[in-house]
Amino acid sequence: MSTRGHLEVKNSHLILGGVDTVTLSEQFGTPLYITNEARIRANYRRFKEAFPDAEIYYAAKSNYNLTVLKILAEEGAGADVFSGGELHCALKAGIPSDKILFNGNSKTDAELEMAVKNNVRISVDSLDELRTLSEIAHKYDNLVGISFRVNPDISPRTHPKIATGLKESKFGIPFKEIIVTYKEAQSTENIKIEGIHCHIGSQILDVSPFLEATKKMINLVKELARFGIHLEFIDIGGGLGISYENEVAPSPKDLADVILPVFVEGTKALEIHPKLVLEPGRYIMADTTILLTKANTVKHAYRNFVGVDAGFNLLIRPAMYDAHHRIVVANKADEKSSSVYTIVGPICESGDVLARDRFLPKIEKDDLIAILDVGAYGFSMSSQYNGRPRCAELLVHHGKVDIIRKEESYDDLLVNQVLPSRFR
Catalytic positions, written as ranges: 348
List C-alpha distances in Å: 256 to 78, 239, 322: 19, 13, 29
Kindly state the smallest distance separating residue 232's Cβ from ligand LLP, in Å.
19
| 289 near ligand LLP (CB under 6 A) | no
Cα separation of 178 and 220, whole Å? 8
Nearer to ligand LLP, 16 or 319 (CB): 319
Kindly state the smallest distance separating residue 131's Cβ from ligand LLP, in Å.
22
| 203 near ligand LLP (CB under 6 A) | yes
Nearer to ligand LLP, 160 or 399 (CB): 160
- CB neighbour list of residue 352: distance below 8 Å, 6 or more residues apart: 311, 312, 319, 344, 345, 346
Region near ligand LLP per CB under 6 A, out of 29-37, 183-191, 281-289, 332-340: 281-289
Residues 33-92 that bind ligand LLP (CB under 6 A): 59, 61-62, 80
Which of 83, 188, 202, 331 is the binder for ligand LLP (CB under 6 A)?
202
Kindly state the smallest distance separating residue 83's Cβ from ligand LLP, in Å.
11
Nearer to ligand LLP, 249 or 270 (CB): 249
Cα separation of 93 and 67, whole Å? 8
Closest CA to 284 of 97, 120, 9, 73: 73
Report the interhelical angle of 66-75 vs 84-92 (nearest 10°).
60
| 103 near ligand LLP (CB under 6 A) | yes
Which of 13, 294, 317, 388 is the binder for ligand LLP (CB under 6 A)?
317
Region near ligand LLP per CB under 6 A, out of 17-25, 234-242, 305-313, 401-409: 234-242
Which of 165, 281, 318, 345 is the binder for ligand LLP (CB under 6 A)?
281
Residues 259-278 that bind ligand LLP (CB under 6 A): none
Which of 282, 358, 388, 390 is the binder for ligand LLP (CB under 6 A)?
282
Nearer to ligand LLP, 1 or 286 (CB): 286
Which of 84, 209, 237, 307 is the binder for ligand LLP (CB under 6 A)?
237
Which of 172, 280, 318, 345 is the binder for ligand LLP (CB under 6 A)?
280
Number of Cβ within 10 Å of residue 214's Cβ equals 23
Kindly state the smallest distance separating residue 364's Cβ from ligand LLP, in Å.
31
In contact, 236 and 188? CB cutoff 8 Å: no
Nearer to ligand LLP, 80 or 367 (CB): 80
Kindly state the smallest distance separating residue 284's Cβ from ligand LLP, in Å.
8
List interacting residues with ligand LLP (CB under 6 A). Answer: 59, 61-62, 80, 103, 162, 164, 199, 202-203, 237-240, 279-283, 317, 321, 376-377
